Every structure is written in C-alpha cells, then in structure tokens.
A and B are shown apart, each in its own frame.
Chain A
Amino acid sequence: MKGDAIMSQSVGQPKLSWFQRSERWQMFTASPLVVTSAIWLLFIVLVALLAPALVAERANLQDLMSRFYAPFQFGKGLEFILGGDSLGRPILLQLAMGAQTSMIIAVFAVGISSAIGYAIGLVAGYFGGWVDNALLRIADILHTIPSILLALVVLFILQPSVFNVIIVLGITRIPVYLRTARAQTVEIKERTFVEVARSMGASHWRIITQEIAPLVFPTIRTLAVLEIAMVILAASSLTFLGIGLQRPDVDWGMMVADGKTYLKSAWFVAVFPGVVIVLTALSASILSNWLRAVEDPTQNILFARKPKARKGASQ
C-alpha cells in the first residue's frame, strides 16, 4: 500500500536526510494510533505548562457544596465536568495541576537517569575491567531490591517532595540505561570501523563520543521514551502510597489515593486520575514502540510493516 510504495522507493536510493525525514513523517502519519499518542502527550505537556498560571487558584478552591459533585453534568460549568472531589475541588482542574507535577517528575527523572546511565554505560563498556564489573554489580544490587521498597526507604529518610521523588527515581532507573548502553558498546567496540579509527590514532574520548555513542543513542532514546511511561507509573505508585508528595503539591497518584476511601459512594474521584495515568503512560509506550519500529524495520513489532515478499518464503 502507501507505506510499501515508500519502502520500495527508498531501497537502492542514496539516503538523503530530508528524504529520510519525510519518510519518517510518512511513517508517523500512517498510523492513527501514533498520531493520537503524540497529540495526547503534547496536550498533557501544554496543560502542565499552562495550568499553574491559569487555574491554580480555582483548582484548589474548596467548596463543600460541590463535594462529590457528580461528573458529566453541566450545572456547575465546564470545570466540574469530571465532578468534584472530597473537598469540593473540581477534579478536572486538579488533574491539570497534577499534570504539571507528573510531567516535571517524568522529564527530570528520565533526563537524569538516561544521561548518567548512557555516559557510564559507554565508558564502562568501552574500557571494561574491574570498574565495569563493579558497576554491573551495583546495577545488579539496585535491580535486586524492588524499586518501590528502595524509594520507600529513601523517602522515609529524606522528606517527601517533588525534588526527592525525582532524585530517587532518577537514581533507581539508571541501571536500565547502563546495562543497555554497556551491552551495545561492548558489541560495537569490536567492529572494524572502531578498529580503523583506533589505528588512525583517534583518542579513546573521540572513539567513544564520535564512533560509538551515535550508534548507541537511538536505543537510549527509544528506551527513554518508554521510561517516561515507567516513571509516571512508579511516581504515581509512590504518591499513591502517600510517601512521594505532600499537599499542596498534587499528582495523579495522590488523587487516586484521595478517592480510595470513597470508592463506594463516589467512584469517579479515584477513577478519572487513573484513566489519565493510563492514557499518558500508554501514549509514551506506543511512541516508544513506534520509534523502535522506525529505527529497526526488521524488528517485528506493532508498527513494522508486513514483510510481504518474505512472508511466503518463511511459511
């Protein structure tokens, strides 16, 4: 179909960057699922940026008359379309405020862990030796302790705050990138072009940054997008357990926790924030999945095109 035409067109042609980019754009628009996910994530980011300035006051306005105001009614205006919570605050606006917290945590935690994991993974994989072994061992230890447990202990000692949640998640998610970057580096450094670079007198620094890093980067980027989903889920678990944040900070996990007690009488207080978490995490997962398909078309995943020519041969 349309996608296959582009595919066959690209075979044998020199890969010009503008062409490649347009091909990516075609692959992007070809899947409504990917477009929807991207739009949703953009929307959440926009809300996160704008909400504090626009609705902060009205979001935190407590009004006992709107306590557990039922959703999908227009009596109190659009801001109560998702109902009111246990203190009469409009759930829709609380969600908007929560978007800011969740996005800040996700962006910074993923930024910290990916940057550190990527850098250490490259260096450890390239040089090997006992430092590499020690780092792997530490990554193993971090892996052995369940992430919630580790975060519980650290937040038990430190105070619950957005900053500390970022630090905890930023550190505990490092091994994910470290292992991946290291494994790829170990494999790539044996390839001929690295040997060529070395024989031409390139320094270690140059080989790592110019020869190896660009090849590892796409995997790290894909992983980072997936980790946005993981961090959103992990952070909301912590705040749900009541150890991540304290009011007036609010995030989606906290809102679910608020609604936990009123499940029987006011289901929507707990349900809507969860729906937003699911949609956001799902969007990030879909985008990550799609990125993987773009980078490596042979990977047989959701958005990879059907290899029509080979299908008959393999079956």
Chain B
Amino acid sequence: MLAFIRGRLLSGLLTVFGVVVLVFFLARLTGSPIDLFFPEGATPAQLDSFSRAYGLDRPLIEQFWVFLSNAVRGDFGMSVWQQRPALQAALSEMPATLLLTLIAMTVSVVIAVILGTVAAAFRFRLVDRVITIVTLITGSIPAFWFALVSILIFAIVYRLVPTSGAGNWQSWILPVATVSLGPIGVLTQVTRGAMIEVLSSGFVRNARARGFGSTRILYRHALRNAALPIIAVAGDIAASMVNGAVIVSVVFAFPGIGKAIIGAVLARDFPVLQACIVVVGVAVILLNLIIDLIYVVVDPRVRLS
C-alpha cells in the first residue's frame, strides 16, 4: 500500500512538473513574453528594464532554470495589476473554489448514485429509459446556458434566490447546480453500468438464493462493489469541476479561482494566469491523490497488494 501511495505521489509530482513546463513554454511560444507581461502602450524603456530585470535577455534554457527554481519556491512574479505576488492572487481565491467543488462533488455523487442505482435495479423498464434520456439531456446542456436560464427562472421570475454573489446559503444553490449538472449525468451512467455488472455477478445471485431482500442486496452487496468505478471516475471529473467554476464566476459573479483566471485574462496579467494554472493543476492532482487513497481504503485488493 505504501508503494502504491509512493507511486501515486511520484506520478503526481511528475505531472506538476509537466504542468510547469507547459506553462513556461506556452508563454514563450509567441517569442517575447514581454508582450504578454505588459499591456499595450508600455514605453520601450519600461520594456527594456523589465527584460533585464527578469533575465529575458538570457538563453532560453537559463530562463527555464530560473523560472523553475522560482516556481519551486512559489514565486511566479508579481501580478501586473494587483500589487501583490501572482501566487497570492491565485491562492486567495482557492478556498471558495475548493468549497464549491467539494459541495458540488458531494451533491453529484449522492444524486448520481441514487439515480444510477434506481436505473440499474429497474433496467430496461420505463424508469431506466427515462433516467438515461434525462442524463443524456443534462449532458447536452452547456453549463453557462443552464446558469443563465436558472437565473431567469429562479432569480428573476420567481425571486427564490439572488442573481449573483456568495453572501448567504441561497446564493450557493444555483452555482452548485451549475457545476454539478454535467458530472451528475456522467456519474449516473457509470453507477448504472457498474451496478448492472455487479448485480449479474455470482455473489449477488448467491445472496439472492440465500433469500436476502432486494434492498439489502442492492445496498449491502452491490453498491459497495460498484463504488470502485464511481470513485475512479470522480477523480476524472475533478478537473472538469474547475471548468464549471470558471463559468460560475462569470455568470454569478461568484468568488473563486474562476474569477482570478478571467480577471487575469481580461487584464492580460500573465503571471497570475500562470500561477492559477499551477495552483489548479496541483489542486486537481491532490484531489486525485485523495480519491486514490479512498480507493485504497474501499478496495482491499489494492490495499493488500
């Protein structure tokens, strides 16, 4: 089990390194990063001093080494617009995103497990078909449009929730729904598939032959084994939740990393954008690591091997 965790940690570190490399070379793709760091209209003298101050007149490999050693220490440079380090600008928005992701993940897993289990238990019946079609539909709704329509219906027409912000708990409802919408569909299909497979396996038939009730079989025998693929897919979905966070920050003016990212794009604040990518990358990898650990706890085969 320790070897498993060590392996995952190593591969996570490697991925973080890959993300950092990607960020560096993306910035250098266009040639001079000075155009990126500076807004239009900067004077040549400014550009020159900046270039020397940041070592941009040095060879690329040397620049990469400097960037890397700074990045390791968490130094991504100063934000161009806000008077603070880029990393700080990115990190200060993370708590809201983490909370949103955590809530949305919980909500989508709970709803998906219920829907998927019901669909599997009644497979090929009307309920199953309705659930499958509904998940196809929810999977086809763009998050930004869902957010706008839900504002139109629940905030403007019925005035049940506020249109934006994150002040009270009501203002979290629509953002959480927006972020969960896509994952619910995917997870429901995974749950359904896994449950159908488990339900047709030998030990479930055995349990049935021993006379256990359907409910007990579903929850005690089947769901526990079906949990593995669900947990595995939940890790994949972690990254897509950040996509949702970006949309939510635009539509609902919701705080979070999405706000920092969009703000950085609009202000052409490349250091902050770089820091945001690395922070999101690390967060997603950590989340995947936690999910792997849950996987280990749930599945004795991994734990003992």
Q: Which residues does A use to contact B, with CB under 8 Å?
A: 137-138, 140-141, 143-150, 152-154, 156-158, 229, 233, 236-237, 240-241, 243, 253, 256-257, 259-260, 263-264, 267, 270-271, 273-274, 277-278, 281-282, 285-286, 289, 300-302, 306, 311, 314
Contact = CB atoms under 8 A, between A and B. Distances in A.
B273 A153 contact: yes
Contact of A302 (B26, B129, B251): B129
B19 A141 contact: yes
B142 A240 contact: yes
A286 B136 contact: yes
Given A144-B284, A146-B280, A149-B276, A243 B265 contact: yes
Contact of B277 (A153, A240, A264, A311): A153
A137 B19 CA distance: 11
Contacts of B285: 144
A41 to B, nearest CB: 13
B262 interface: yes
Interface in B107-140: 123-124, 129, 132-133, 136-137, 139-140
Nearest to B148: A270
A306 B126 CA distance: 12
B15 to A, nearest CB: 5
A158 to B, nearest CB: 8
A236 B143 CA distance: 10
Contacts of A267: 152
Contacts of B27: 157
A145 B239 contact: yes
B125 to A, nearest CB: 10
B55 interface: no
B151 A263 contact: yes
A277 B136 contact: no
Contacts of B168: none
Given A141-B15, A149-B277, A154-B26, A241 B243 contact: no
Contacts of B14: 137
Taking each of A148, A229, A267, which has the highest tally of chain B beta carbons within 10 Å of its own beta carbon?
Answer: A148
B154 to A, nearest CB: 12
B161 to A, nearest CB: 14
Contacts of A281: 139-142
B261 to A, nearest CB: 6
Contacts of A277: 140, 142, 145
Contacts of B152: 263, 267, 270-271
12 contacts: A141-B18, A144-B284, A145-B19, A145-B281, A146-B284, A148-B246, A149-B276, A241-B144, A263-B156, A278-B141, A278-B142, A282-B137
A241 B200 contact: no
Contact of A274 (B11, B132, B145, B270): B145
B239 A146 contact: yes
Contacts of B280: 145-146, 149
A144 B240 contact: no
B30 interface: yes
Interface string B228-245: 000000001001111100
Contacts of A274: 141-142, 145, 148-149
A229 B276 contact: no
Contacts of A311: 124
A137 B15 contact: yes
Top-10 shortest CB links A-B: A274-B145, A281-B140, A282-B140, A146-B242, A141-B18, A148-B243, A240-B144, A146-B239, A146-B243, A306-B124
A152 B261 contact: yes
A157 B18 contact: no
Taking each of B129, B140, B236, B268, which has the highest tally of chain A beta carbons within 10 Å of its own beta carbon?
Answer: B140
Interface in B211-241: 236, 239-241
B250 interface: yes
A87 B144 CA distance: 22
Interface in B256-280: 261-262, 265, 268, 270, 273, 276-277, 280
Nearest to A274: B145
A285 B139 contact: yes
Contact of B26 (A153, A240, A271): A153
Contacts of A157: 26-27, 29-30, 36
Contact of A270 (B23, B26, B132, B145): B145
B144 A237 contact: yes
Contact of A149 (B156, B242, B268): B242
Contacts of A302: 129, 132-133, 136
Given A253-B142, A263-B156, A274-B148, A156 B273 contact: yes
B248 to A, nearest CB: 12
Nearest to A260: B148
Given A141-B19, A146-B242, A300-B196, A241 B136 contact: no
B247 interface: yes
Contact of A289 (B30, B136, B144): B136
Contacts of B47: none
A144 B26 contact: no
A241 B262 contact: yes
B163 to A, nearest CB: 9
Contact of B265 (A150, A152, A158, A289): A152
A240 B147 CA distance: 12
B22 interface: yes
